Amino acid sequence: MLKVGLTGGIGSGKSAVARRLVERGAVVIDSDRIAREVVAPGTEGLAEIVAAFSDRVLDATGALDRAALGALVFADETARRRLEAITHPRVRARSAELAAAAGPDAIVVNDVPLLVEVGLAATYHLVVVVQTEVATRLARLERDRGMARAEAERRIAVQADDARRRAAADVVLTNDGSLADLHAAVDALWDERLRPYEANLRERRAVPSGRVVLAEADPTWPQQYARLAARIRHALAPADPRLDHIGSTAVPGLAAKDVIDIQLTVPTLADADGPLADRLAAAGFPRLPGEWWDKPRPPGSGRWEKRLHGSADPGRPVHLHVRPADSPGWRYALLMRDHLRADPDQRSAYLALKRELAASAPDSATWTTAKDPWFDEEHLRAEQWAAQTGWRP
C-alpha cells in the first residue's frame, strides 16, 4: 500500500486536508485521535503518565487533563521528551495495526503532527506538509480553539519551523487562501500523484523516461536527494550501504534533466538481486526491466554491468544505479561528478553541449549516444585531474 505522511504546524489546516483526502478515498490514520485513545482511563499509557507526572495531570473524573499536562510539558523539553517516550511507541503500534487492516490497494495517510520532530519522514513513500503563515495560524487558534495568544505562540515555537518542515516535504500544500483553494490543491495531488503512485507501487512499475527537457539548476536537488536516500536507507536497514548523489543534479549550477541520479553501492551484482531488489521496490524504487550497463571508457573494454531502478512516484523521477564497490562504472560515476564540481570550464562546456543536444536530440537514446564523444575526452581530463589532486572515490 502507499504510505503517506501528512503533517503541518498547529493551526495550519492539516485536519482540513485530512478530511478532504478521506472524501477522495484515502484511509486516514489520525495520530492525535490515537494519542487520546492510548491514554484513556484504564490504559497502561495513562498509568505511566501519572507515575511520571503525578495525579496533577488528572481531572475530577480521573481522565487525563490535557491542558494541565500541556502546561507542564510544552515549557519543559525534558518533560516533553518523557511524555513522548510514553505515548509515541503506543501510537506507532496502534497506527501499524490500522494500516495493516487497510486493503492492499489502499492509500494510507498518517496524520502526524510531530512527524518531522520525531524523524519519521523516511518511513513514508511521500511526505505532505501543510504550510500556513504564522499570523494566520495564531488567528485560527485564538478563534477556533479559544487558545490564549501566548499559549498559541508557545505551542508554535516548540514545533519545527517552516524551513525544517519544507526540508522533509515531498509536497507542500499552502493554506493561506480559501477552503476551496485548499480542496483544489488536494484534489490535484490525489489525481495526479497519489493514485498513480499507488498503482505504480502495486504493479512494481517505474515511471518511464520522456523527452529530454533541460531544467535550470535547482538548489533543492541535493535536499531532494537526501530525502530519497533516507527512504532507501530505511528500506534496507539494518544494512547501511553507501549511497551517493551522482549525475548532473549533483553538480551545483548545472542545468539538467529533472531526474535525481543515485548510486547504491553493493559488494557484488549478485547482492543487488533478490531481497534487496524486493525491498527497493516496496519502498517505491522498482527495478527497470532488461539488462543494463554503462559504456566503458576508454572504449573497447568489456561492458560495465549494473542494475537500474526507477521511481514509482510520478512526481519525482529517479535513476537508482546499483553498482559493485570499486567497479569501473562505480568509480567513473563519482569521478565525473567530482571533476565537474571542481572544474568550472568543463562544467560550462558540458552545459553548452547539453543545451545544444536538448534542442537537436530530445529523445533519451539519441541524447545519451550524442554525448559519448565529449565524455570520452572528459574521461581523460578527469583521470589527469585525479592523478594531480590525489582524488579518491
Q: What is the pLDDT of residue 345?
A: 93
Q: What is the pLDDT of residue 31?
A: 87
Which residue stretches of 102-161 are H helix? Answer: 134-145, 149-158
Cα distances (Å, whole numbers) of residue 100 to 5, 104, 105, 197? 16, 9, 12, 19
Nearest partner of 241 among 267, 269, 263, 265, judged by Cα = 265
- For residue 20 the three cell numbers come to 478532504
**Amino acid in the structure at residue 194:** L
Please state the pTM of the whole predicted model.
0.87
Residues 6+ away with beta carbon under 8 Å from 17: 6, 8, 128, 130, 173, 175, 182, 186
Residue-by-residue pLDDT tens, the chain, 393 positions: 999 999 988 878 888 999 999 999 999 999 889 989 999 999 999 999 999 999 888 998 999 998 889 888 877 889 988 998 999 899 889 988 998 898 888 999 999 888 888 899 999 999 999 988 888 888 878 777 888 788 877 788 777 778 888 999 999 998 988 899 999 999 999 999 999 999 999 999 999 876 778 899 999 999 999 999 999 999 999 999 999 999 999 999 999 999 999 999 999 999 999 899 999 999 999 999 999 999 888 777 778 999 999 999 999 999 999 999 999 999 999 999 999 999 999 999 999 988 888 777 666 666 677 788 888 899 999 999 999 999 999
- For residue 93 the three cell numbers come to 503500534
Q: What is the pLDDT of residue 366?
A: 66
Cα separation, 251 vs 256, in Å, equals 9
Residue 375, strand partner residues:
none
- Using the 8-state DSSP alphabet, how is residue 321 labeled? E
Q: What is the pLDDT of residue 29?
A: 94
Tracing cell 492525535 back to the chain, one arrives at 32
> 3-class DSSP state for residue 315?
coil
Q: What is the pLDDT of residue 209?
A: 75
**Amino acid in the structure at residue 287:** R
Sheet with 171-174, edge to edge strand ranges? 27-30, 107-111, 2-8, 126-131, 171-174
- Using left for φ > 0, alpha for ψ between -120 and 50, and beta otherwise, residue 63 falls in beta
- For residue 30 the three cell numbers come to 489520525
- Per DSSP (E only), the strands in 138-242 are 171-174, 214-215
